[in-house]
Every structure is written in structure tokens, then in C-alpha cells.
Amino acid sequence: MSLAAVATPNEVYSRGYGVEPEVRGAGGVIWRRLDPNRVEVVLVHHHLHGDWSLPKGKQDPGEDLTTCALREVEEETGMTCSADDPIGVAHYVDRLGRTKAVHYWSMHAGSDESLHTLSPTLEIDDARWVSLPDALTEADLSRDRFVLWAFAGRMGLTSSDLTGQNPDAAKLSRKAPILVIRHASAGDRYAWGDDDTARPLDAKGASQSSLLAGRIAGYPIARIVSSPAARCIETVEPLAALTGLPIDIEPRLGEGQGAHAGDLLAEYRNQGVVVCTHGDVVDEALRFIASTCELPLPGDGGSKKASVWVFNGNGSSNGDGPSFRIAGYLAPPAS
């Protein structure tokens, strides 16, 4: 795959009610499959902070994000990789108080999969291959778990697969993220000519919903909640079939009900809830998160149909509502 084919995540920053991130960066999930059920990824150790994380770094002036990701991965692991597909974007505030957005790609190493331990005088002093389920518990940062859960779905692994290989991964469900989906493509509302709540997904939307189910199946999902609209219910039906969970209908997720977004985020925090709703409700959720948590969130282009926002972190109250440290964005699947 050419670099140009994947170097597009910046499009979500056209304009927004949040803030333009002060720092943009990129990184990668380097992976190898040892057998059909065992996938390993690379974690690096930051000797200054004492944590294990995915390789990533800051974008240089004039550098596109894919090039940044490949450069940082090589600098931190010694491996020359090729970029596969973009995974998602993590939005957060770093240790210096800067708003930051980091774009991640899945990556394949070349024929040499050996890791080169770097000089301790550099930021990274170690790197190693770790099984994907172990990486979820060994990665010290919640933004890395957001990326790893999304990557697991792309590998065809569900949350049950991950916890089956590493029972400790089940502990992460105690602080599971909220996933907010904007319903998939559903044709033209003006051409529908009937009760709009009954408008179904079109062929593109049906394909998106099927792909979306696999993409997010790696997350620790305990509940699926949907707007009463048919297009929202149909968007999460493949996920319900895959996970065996029922779909709960919530009128407060209906179109025009964005005023409830903050209350619902508070209600669902730390519970592994998947929410499917409408663009206006997603926008209100983003506005709420941007204002109460001061995260660098985009506006236009940041809530496309069949896209997913993942709100992660401790989800504790900051006095005004739930405080989430991480907001992750998964672009719509290509149908």
C-alpha cells in the first residue's frame, strides 16, 4: 500500500468546537502472527518515565503523518517497517499540559524482525515483542489500550479471545471505555418519504455495519444501546450477533436529543457500553467532552457516518461531569 493511500487522517481537523492540537504525532503497532490465534506486537520502554508503550513521536515540520509514524518507529525500535492501514487517532493532554493528537497505523516489519536495543542516553532504552493480550495489561497508558483494542478487532480477535489468552486482561473491563457510533449510511432522508425513524440502512450502510462489528469486537463490550431509529439499530445488529449481547433501546439517543449527551456519558462511564446514535447527538457528546475535559477534539469531519468515538480514562467526576483522559477516533470502515 502506498503512503499516499493512508496519509489522510488530518482531514478530521477542518474546523471544530474543540481546539487545534498543539502537538501532532504518529506511531505504529508493529505486529506478527505466530499462528492463527497468536499475534505479537512491539512495546518500547521509556527510561525517563519508566513506562511501556507503543512506539510513537512528534511530527516534524513539513512531514506527513505516515512518514512521521514510520520514522519514529524505526528510531525507537531499529526496525524498518511498511505501513498497513490507519488504526485510529488518540486525543489527549500530555505530561507537559499540551493538547495532543497521535495517529496510529498497523505496521509490518521487513524480513528482519529483530529489535535493536537503543542507547540508554536516548528516550527509549528497550523494546520487545509481546503477545497482544499481554500488551493490553503491560502497556502503561490508557491511550495505548485504545489503539490495541482497535487493532485486535482488525486481527479478527474478540475481547473473549484476548481474555481467554490472558485472564488478567479481564481486569481492564472494570474501566472499559464508552464507544459512541454514528449510524452507518442510510440513503437520503428526503427521498425516503416515510417515517424517518423507520428509514433503514442502504447497501453501503449494511456493509459498513458488518465491517464495524469486527473492527470494535476487541474492545471489552458489556452492553449495546441504540437510538430507536431503525438505521441505528441495524448498525449494531452485526455487533450484537457477534457478541451475543441484546440491543437496548434508549429514547434519549434519538435524533434531536443531544441535550442528554452529557448525562448519558456520565451514566455509561466505565461500563463498556457501545452507543449508536445520530450525528447531532455525537456532536453534542464531543462538545461536552471538549468543554469539560479540555481535550483537542475536531468538529466538522470528526463524526462521519459509521465512525466511532472512544472515550477512555478513569471516567471520574471533575465536578462538572465525567472526566475522560483519552478520546479516540476510528474512521468509518471502507465498504
Averaged pLDDT in 10-residue chunks for the chain of 335 residues:
30 44 91 85 87 93 95 89 92 82 89 55 80 90 89 89 77 79 94 91 97 93 96 98 96 94 87 94 86 65 84 58 74 83
Distance, CA of 49 to CA of 43 (rounded, Å): 14
Domain end marker among 142, 163, 184: 163
What pLDDT, on the 0 to 100 scale, is given for residue 112?
A: 61
What pLDDT, on the 0 to 100 scale, is given for residue 110?
A: 67
CA distances from 257 to 52, 62, 95, 110 (A): 41, 42, 36, 50
Buried b (16+ CB within 10 A) or exposed e, 62-89: eebbbbbbbebbeebbebebebbebbbb
What pLDDT, on the 0 to 100 scale, is given for residue 259?
A: 92
Is 157 in contact with 218 (CB distance < 8 Å)? yes
Residue 69 φ then ψ, to 5°: -60, -45
Q: What are 134's strand-pairing partners?
A: none
The percent of the chain in helix, strand and coil, each rounded to the nearest 5, is 35, 30, 35
The domain of 224 spans: 176-330
Is 221 in contact with 159 (CB distance < 8 Å)? yes
Asked whether residue 288 is domain-assigned, the answer is yes
Which pTM value belongs to this model? 0.85
Task: Specify the number of domains making up the chain.
Answer: 2
Asked whether residue 171 is domain-assigned, the answer is no
Distance, CA of 312 to CA of 179 (rounded, Å): 9
Residue 224 φ then ψ, to 5°: -120, 125
Residues 24 and 157 in one domain: yes
